[in-house]
Structure 1
Amino acid sequence: MVSQTKVSGVVFDEQDNPVPFANVVYVGSNEGTITNENGRFYLESEKTWDKIKVSFIGFTEKEIALTSRVNYDMKIILAQEAAAIDEVFIYSGKTSKKNNPAIDILRKIWSRKKQNGLRQFKQYEYDKYEKIEFDLNTIDSALINSKLFRGMEFIFDQTDTSRVTGKTYLPIFVNEAVSKVYGDNESRKEKEDLLGNKNSGFNENQTIIGFVKDLYNDYDVYENYLKFFDKTFTSPISRTGIQTYNYVLADSAYIDNKWCYNIIYYPRRTNELTFKGDFWVNDSTWAIKEINMQLSKSANINWVKEIYLEQEFDIVNDTTFLLKRDYFLSDFAFRKKEESRGLYGKRTTLYDNYAFNQKKDKEFYDKEVYYYDKDVYNRGDEFWEKNRKEELSADEKGVYKMLDTLKTVKKFRNLYNLGSVLASGYWEFPSLNLDYGPIFSTFGFNEVEGLRIRTGARTYFGQNDLWRTEGFLAYGFKDEKFKFGISGKWLADKKNRLIFSGGYRQDVEQIGASLTTSRDVLGRNLASSSLVNTASNDKLTSIRLTNFAVEIEPVRNLKFRTDFSLRSLESASETFNLEYFTDASETTTKADLTQTEVVFTTIWEPGKKTSGFGVERRVVNEWFPSFFLSYTRGLEGTLNSDFEYDRLQFSFRKAIRVGGFGQLNVSTEVGKTFGEVPLALLSPVPGNQSLFSIFNTYSQLNFYEFVTDEYASVQLEHNFGGRIFSRIPFLKKLNLREIVAIRGVIGNISQENIDLNRPAFENLRFIQNDLPISTLTSQDIAPTAEPYFEYSFGVGNIFKVFRIDVNFRGNYNDLPDARSFGVTGSFGFFF
């Protein structure tokens, strides 16, 4: 479909200053846009128009004739208005919150929002068609002639122009999905059945499909906060909007035979996660008829230069407005400069065939179908012609053909393979059905092994493999020893995700870095091989682990697992030992340990979404809570096991969006070991001797500084997302983000476990000031007298990728080698 009218330009006042947030519309239509902070606008329509109207409160409205279908780089000057006309109030800059008709209308929207749309029905169902597209934008001759695309110039035959930004773009990926959605407002349950999925080149790759779809979560403009790209934006329709936005009543008109008011809004402050735009609202139901939202240029968000959203609502009857069309465009770029190249991500969602109050059984929503239906991803043209609710444009149709051709070009295949390696960490060998990696674990270092090199591989036949084997081989140049591991898993029942797994690992590990013992036979934590440490990292353990497990997921995101493991543990360092007494007279010691255990684990992660249907799946969303409960039984005598004991552990983790005040990460762990066990089976408070900020560890604690057999730990970390720095003039342009955290743990250790482990404690910090070993109590070993705590202040988003935390130890500063102050950091790509 070829667009008919295109207009771009800049709006100025008579002093040649740009006019931000001015309203620009085609005369005689409801098609329009808002100028950005620099007064610039771009407007495109599929119809032919001969005039545009430019207006802003405080200025005289101006109409400009269009001399051709394409009118670029127009300079429009608005004259200052001397007085108000009729009864329209004049607002410029920050608008008043009192006697403002726009805010009066906003309050009426709040009072009726639960009576509009799907909320007024007990049950609902509808058809949904979704199209997601990725485009390479800012196409020019320099890019077309660059070495990167040499031999692939034919792809530029599909270029087009964005109706939102006016930039030339090249579609490179299209994904279409048709589904049926069912919901129940009484039980607050919703289910979406995927009927068909088609995309350009990746038809059966649910990882790519899941990642792309998760970028564009569904949203409700009536909610106070809208969640995109792991950020929380204040909705212009929210109850907190009065404190965040300026509102202006700009116009009124009939839309679909309904009288509607037009309200323009724009942010009161810079650097906050806000939008600018306008919406039309009906004068009797106070339901939104149309709304558009454009990201404020100064918003504190990385890698996203532009966000633009449109929603249109259909009139069902006098009281019901239902979502008809949703359009979402985002411009991903490394820089926010106007000329910088990037990637458009566009989602168009169409809704149709609504039906209401058709009650379904509870089992209908609880039943989860995990079976992979290959036909869903290979529907024919007849299916798409019948179910596609919007015809594909010529360039979108061309993408399907273009990518098929691209896949035959060797250079493109090499670029695709490189991108795949960076995303997955594995190098693919399709002809062997084998992946090499993870490549990021190739090198490591610790004081026992010295420099460590690692090589590994896994079987890979496809995204939905029902079985997988994996292994690694490592070598330490200091201890001159080989380490290795091998594991396998098999999905025996797809419906309930019944999985059998087993493996063996022989390695060197820092087991004092976590309160929860890992049964992953191929796992390895950062504490075992961090390159730089703040204290000597010599308290490492040689481990030989054999593990067999059965897990089942009878209800979505509720998993039950049983492990049977055999562990052999001994010190890997001359300066660290795991000795314990083996007799009541405390005359004989043993330095190694053989332990057979059975572990029953329950994991509940409500709201978690995954991609793939095989034995391994990828998590594609965030913000869901995680509940972990485990019971461990030590089996003395079984396979020469040394100890009998019981252990209970519980943990909870959740990332919470606190409205416009950022994100709060919460973690709590509690546990208790019943019975006498050696140091290798106790629960050391997890220290952090690296220079990295690692959540759920204690940055100012050394390994084994505290040891417990019962504990309770709480960690709170809040990222304000720049809300404070945005109000400081000399800092707000840097888009920094402030982070505060507090961590605390209280614990105990029984006298029986102290007596058993006195030989091991001699090499730790617990023997001090020439005190005899026989006088040790719980207060010398565990944070019993008072909870240990520390706190930190951090600055994130430094150069968009770095974070630095300054950590302070709150107490126990008189202990030997106590680190009262430290600096840690991290890096990563975050929005």
Structure 2
Amino acid sequence: MRQTLLFIAFLFTSLLWSQTKVSGTVIDEYDEPVAFANVIFKDSNEGTITDENGRFYLESDDSYEAIWVSFVGYELNIVELDRRTTYELVVTLKEEAAALDQVVVYSGKTSKKDNPALDILRKIWENKRENGVRQFKQYSYDKYEKLEFDLNTIDSALVQSKIFRGMEFIFEQVDTSNVTGNTYLPIFVNEEISKVYGDNILGKEKEILEGNKNSGFENNQSIIAFTQDLYSDYNVYDNYLKFFNKAFTSPLSTTGIDVYNYVLLDSAYRDNKWCYNIVYYPRRKNELTFKGDFWVNDSTWAIKEINLQASKSANLNWVREVYIEQEFDVLNDSIFLITKDYFLSDFSLRKKEGARGVYGKRTTFYNNYVFDEPKDKAFYKEQIDPYQYEIYNRPDSFWEEKRVEPLSKDEKGVYKMLDTLKTVPRFKALYDVGATLASGYYEFKNFDYGPIFSTFGYNEAEGIRVRAGGRTYFGQNDLWRLEGYVAYGFRDNKFKYGISGKWLVDRESRLILFGGNRRDVEQTGARLTATTDVLGRSLASSALITVGANDQLTNLNLTTVGFELEPVKNFTTRFRVTYRTLRSATDAFSLSWLDEDGQVQNEIKQPALEVILGFTPGRRTIGYGVERKVINEEKFPVFFLGYGVGLKDFLGGDFDYQKVQGLYTQPWNIGGFGRAWTTLEAGKIFGDVPLGLLSPIPGNQTLWSIYNTFNQLDFYEFVSDTYVSFHLQHNFGGRIFSRIPGIRKLNLREVVGFRAVYGSISDANVALNVDRQGNPIIYQAPEDVYWEWSVGVGNIFKVFRIDFNFRGNYLDNPGARQFGVTGTFGFSF
């Protein structure tokens, strides 16, 4: 009872902060909802529009006694408000009989002919390249960005739940969203001040961080980066707006006529500029579209204001609501520059109204524009220390001066509330559980145990395998890190181990020294381009269930030392010295070879020197220590080039060879047609080497769909010393299924794949390989280009995809698998 009264008191207090709140539904005389109707506080410019179900929510800090509700073809309805807070209001609009002969009323699908809204839209297309900072040679501006997470749909049941026992004080910050009308509790706020410089001639832009302040926890950078990546910068004039790894069709897109209905609703002065008001809404359900309206100037055809609300039927996981609002100001009477960008998303496990969730908000202000003041090209190349203590510890006076928008009362309270919350033992326990599930490590003081998901495994050589390991962890910006593990196999009765160390010598150039040693059982050849570190391990080595015998395993002893450097952002160079010994881990598999005297050798000893170049344009990372986390892994291309030299007779080395490898992976956003990934790999070995040093074409005998492998190939079915492979995977994002009645509600997504590889192997390399008794083993290369294809259904229960794989050729190979089914779990929007 005490908690209920406490909640009511807090709710009452929050209601006092906003003077007028009203929500409800607008219907016509036939009880049908009126979508996109105008709802405005009387005698004001504060208003909103109803959604496709006729629902609305409106809030103001001022006191109002009535609202105006209107729509084209209907009489204006003035609704009196007898209370400061009025919820679940039902407003009925009557058809305007006197205007029926004069007004064209658009409902359902609007016509593409004789529609004045489309004539205005075409004017926007003609002039969109002349708006904003792109009209100047150089530009700079100040940028203030505020990120916030809120727990929403706060009710008495949540307040009284056991999970918050002892933490009831947090509900003092409850407020109500002016977009959704739901109560919410701010739980995280981050502020950032930066200066942005750009040069349209050079095609360069640079952002310099001047201040960062947050109310979060020690590992808050992960939350900040995750949110910033979700809400990556977009331009409403572009044909597609890309966030959540999806491409939404913009209402200003040149393809918008085929996707949206447009209605010219009104015209009026907006900040002394005559503008037209156009309402838009989707033509079809289940597509990545918006509904909303925008104001466009009648001479420059530039957008003055726009709001976008994602269609509730859009094929989007875990997101119940997306709302975007942008405002533009006028410079020199003709140029419109963005001044405010507001983005809200409502994350929830269920889309059902009333289900609890989390708001993610980003509010960005742009001001102090300066134009045509050039900077040297060197300015844009200059490296800046990525972590400066003073930037993250600015005094309150700095923020009071620099904030474009003052913090609200509830936002100010979050800083104090979270400082108190972190001292509550129950919260700390809940936080530890969440952190363990997210990172895979359980945190002790200065040490993390894990990864916990690698504790158990199975393969033919080791049988059941158990593993325990951990790493040093003083903070996410540690300059050094030690990591190691111990494992035991119950079939071979052997212990395995791995240990590695890294030290960040120079933070600016990211000079890292590293080294380590691993003795373990491994499925070598699971990848063509080997880029894993000394503790890397493939899924193929420990899959619990496999197709066919998974017994072609290797006892590996690998030692590595080297250094890594990043002279230019996202361009890394790595030099390493490796020493490997390889032996077969099972009786059914042979790594034996014939030496120059014709003697059978069962072990390969091989020192090598390797130089690796990597370039990942567009990659964003968090952390400034020896290890960083990539936050937009699926968005940037990857270029890789490796060169290795095998050393014979040095430290007992067995072979002289040179090895060249290259890889190029590219993600493709194909607008409304979904998202694709392509990978091209090529490599060649110069010199004579046995199986353990060759390049097996990576098969996949697990039940998991593993990108860059061939699902219908067995391990070592093809082996090469020269290869070129190509992989394509395309996710249509539900574009086809959304047009099939009865299926569209499932929000399934179509996935297709194609994989091909050419390879060859010299006679000399084939002749080196024998079994333990010296009998020749003949390995085959895919000289006729092996290929396979797949079709899949994704987004099953929002987390699972099943692929049906078909082998294209080499059907007569012994044990060839012509058809197979694989699957994969994953979190995606």
TM beyond 0.5: yes
What corresponds to 1:770 in structure 2? none
CA shift for structure 1 position 82: 5.3
Q: Distance in 1 between matches of 2:341 and 2:697?
A: 50
Distance (Å, rounded) in 1 between the aligned partners of 2:440 and 2:65: 55
**Corresponding position: 1:581 with 2:587:** no
Q: What pairs with 1:544-693 in structure 2 (closer than 5 Å)? A: 544-583=557-596, 587-621=598-632, 622-693=634-705
When structure 1 is superposed on structure 2, of 81-90 and 357-366 the one drifting more is 81-90
Deviations 1:24-81 (A, max 9, x none): 2334444332222322111112333333333334444433233333221111122245
Question: 2-side partners of 1:309 and 1:119: how far apart?
Answer: 22
The answer to whether the Cα contact below 8 Å between 2:529 and 2:663 also exists between their aligned partners in 1 is no
Distance 2:397 2:790 in 1: 60
Q: Does 1:499 align with 2:512?
A: yes
Q: Tell me what 1:236 maps to.
A: 251
Instruction: Measure the CA separation in 1 of the matches of 2:609 and 2:38.
Output: 68
Aligned: 1:711 with 2:709: no
Q: What is the rounded CA distance, in whole Å, between the counterparts of 2:56 and 2:63 in structure 1?
A: 18
Residue 522 (structure 2) aligned to one of 480, 490, 509: 509
Matched residue of 1:513: which SS? Answer: coil
What is the CA–CA distance in structure 1 between the aligned matches of 2:623 and 2:413, rounded to whole Å? 28
Q: 1:739 aligns with which of 745, 751, 754?
A: 751
2:483 maps to 1:470: yes
CA shift, 1:191, in A, is: 1.0
Check conservation: 1:457, 1:471, Cα contact below 8 A.
Answer: yes
For residues 616 and 761 of structure 1, the distance between their equivalents in structure 2, rounded to whole angstroms, comes to: 47
Alignment match, 1:799: 797
What residue identity is the alignment partner of 1:673?
I
Q: What are the superposed Cα offsets for residues 640-677 of structure 1, whole Å, 9 maximum, x if unpaired?
A: 00000011100011211101111001111000001100
Q: Tell me if 1:16 matches 2:15.
A: no
Kept in 2: contact 1:722–1:737 (CA 8 A): yes
Shift of 1:481: 0.4
Residues 749-802 of structure 1, C-alpha deviation per residue, up to 9 Å, x if partnerless? 011111112448999xxxxxxxxx69x6xxx70110x21111000000001111
Q: Secondary structure of the equivalent of 1:512?
A: coil
Percent of aligned pairs with the same amino acid = 62
Q: How many residues align?
A: 813
Shift of 1:494: 1.2
Unaligned runs of 5+ in 2: 1-15
- Measure the CA separation in 1 of the matches of 2:301 and 2:397: 41
Q: Return the letter of the residue paired with 2:693.
A: L
1:399 alignment partner, SS class: helix
Query: Is the partner of 2:170 in helix, strand or coil?
Result: helix
Taking a change above 3 Å as real, the CA distance of residues 701 and 249 of structure 1, as seen in their structure-2 partners, is same
Letter in 2 for 1:313: F
How far does residue 370 in structure 1 lie from its aligned partner after superposition? 3.7
The partner residue of 1:271 within 286, 297, 300 is 286
Output the TM-score relative to the length of structure 1: 0.96
CA distance in 1, matches of 2:101, 2:138: 46
Is the alpha carbon distance of 1:82 and 1:820 closer, same or farther for their aligned partners in structure 2, counting shifts above 3 Å? farther
Return 5+ residue gaps in structure 1 as ranges: 764-772
Q: How far apart, CA to CA, are the structure 1 residues paired with 2:201 and 2:670? A: 26
Tell me the CA shift for residue 86 of structure 1. 7.9
- Indicate the residue corresponding to 2:782 in structure 1: 783
After superposing the two structures, state which structure 1 stretch, 200-209 or 333-342, moved more.
200-209
Contact (CA 8 Å) 1:262, 1:281: kept in 2 or not? yes
Q: SS in structure 1 opposite 2:546? A: coil
Does the CA-based 8 Å contact 2:147-2:224 persist in structure 1?
A: no
Question: What secondary structure is seen at the aligned counterpart in 2 of 1:781?
Answer: coil
Deviation at 1:620, TM superposition (A): 1.5
8 Å contact kept, 1:663–1:720: yes
Structure 1 segment 238-387 matched on structure 2, within 5 A: 238-387=253-402
1:6-36 deviations in Å (ceiling 9; x for gaps): 1211112222122233332334444332222
Aligned to 2:10: none
Q: In the alignment, residue 457 of structure 1 is paired with which amino acid?
A: G
Pair 62,7 (structure 1): closer, same or farther in 2 beyond 3 Å: same
Measured in 2, the distance between the counterparts of 1:192 and 1:761 equals 65
The answer to whether 1:389 aligns with 2:404 is: yes
Matches of 1:490 and 1:633 in 2, distance apart? 26
Distance 1:338 1:244, change over 3 A: same
Q: 1:126 pairs with 125, 138, 141, which one?
A: 141
**Take 2:471 and 2:86, find their aligned partners in 1: how far apart are those partners?**
57
Counterpart in 2 of 1:766? none
Q: Structure 2 counterpart of 1:811, which letter?
A: N
> Which of 801, 812, 817 pairs up with 1:814?
812
C-alpha spacing 1:205/1:342, structure 2 compared with 1 (3 Å)? closer
The letter for the 2-side match of 1:417 is: D
Q: In structure 2, how many angstroms separate the alpha carbons of the residues matched to 1:448 and 1:642? A: 26
Cα deviation, residue 457, structure 1:
1.1
Conserved in 1, the CA contact under 8 Å of 2:600 and 2:774? no
User: Is 1:528–2:541 an aligned residue pair?
Assistant: yes
Q: Note if contact 2:73-2:100 (Cα within 8 Å) is conserved in structure 1.
A: no
In 1, the alpha carbon distance for the partners of 2:661 and 2:264 equals: 58
Say whether residues 1:441 and 2:454 are aligned partners: yes
Query: Superposed, which structure 2 residues align to 1:127-142 within 5 Å?
Result: 127-142=142-157
Distance 1:90 1:213 in 2: 41
CA contact (8 A) 1:84 1:90 kept: no
CA contact (8 A) 1:58 1:91 kept: no
Q: Which residue of 2 aligns with 1:768?
A: none
What SS does structure 1 have at the residue aligned with 2:17?
Answer: coil
The answer to whether the Cα contact below 8 Å between 2:523 and 2:552 also exists between their aligned partners in 1 is yes
RMSD value, Cα: 1.7
8 A Cα contact 2:600 2:773, kept in partner: no
Partner of 2:436 in structure 1? Answer: 421
User: Shift in Å at residue 172 of structure 1?
Assistant: 0.6
- Separation in 2 of the partners of 1:389 and 1:240? 36
Letter in 2 for 1:450: G
Q: Secondary structure at the match of 1:597?
A: strand
Give me the whole-angstrom Cα distance separating, in 2, the residues matched to 1:327 and 1:589: 70
- CA contact 2:73–2:103 (8 Å) conserved in 1: no
Structure 2 vs 1, CA of residues 334 and 167 (structure 1 numbering), >3 Å: closer, same or farther? Answer: same
Distance 1:201 1:594, change over 3 A: same
| 1:205 to 1:68, Cα distance in 2 relative to 1, 3 A | closer
C-alpha separation between the residues in 2 aligned to 1:685 and 1:159?
Answer: 58
Q: Distance in 2 between matches of 1:375 and 1:449?
A: 52
Hey, what's the Cα distance between the residues in 1 that align with 2:386 and 2:39? Answer: 50
Residues 532, 690 of structure 1: 8 Å contact kept: yes
Q: Using the alignment, how far apart are the partners of 1:721 and 1:183 within structure 2?
A: 35
Question: 2:291·2:308 contact (CA, 8 Å) conserved in 1?
Answer: yes
Do the aligned partners of 1:325 and 1:348 also contact (CA within 8 Å) in 2?
yes
1:629 counterpart letter in structure 2:
L
Q: Secondary structure at the match of 1:453?
A: strand
Note if contact 2:590-2:770 (Cα within 8 Å) is conserved in structure 1: no
Amino acid at match of 1:590: Q
Rounded to whole Å, the distance in 1 between the matches of 2:103 and 2:204 is 45
TM-score by length of 2: 0.96
User: Aligned equivalents of 1:130 and 1:57: distance in 2?
Assistant: 38
Q: Residue 163 of structure 1 aligns to which amino acid in structure 2? A: N
Change over 3 Å in CA distance of 1:762–1:128 after alignment to 2: farther
Aligned twin of 1:769: none
- What letter matches 1:192 in structure 2? E
Residue 84 of structure 1: how far off its partner (Å): 5.3
Cα displacement (A) at 1:696: 0.4
Between the aligned partners of 2:233 and 2:648, the Cα distance in structure 1 is 53
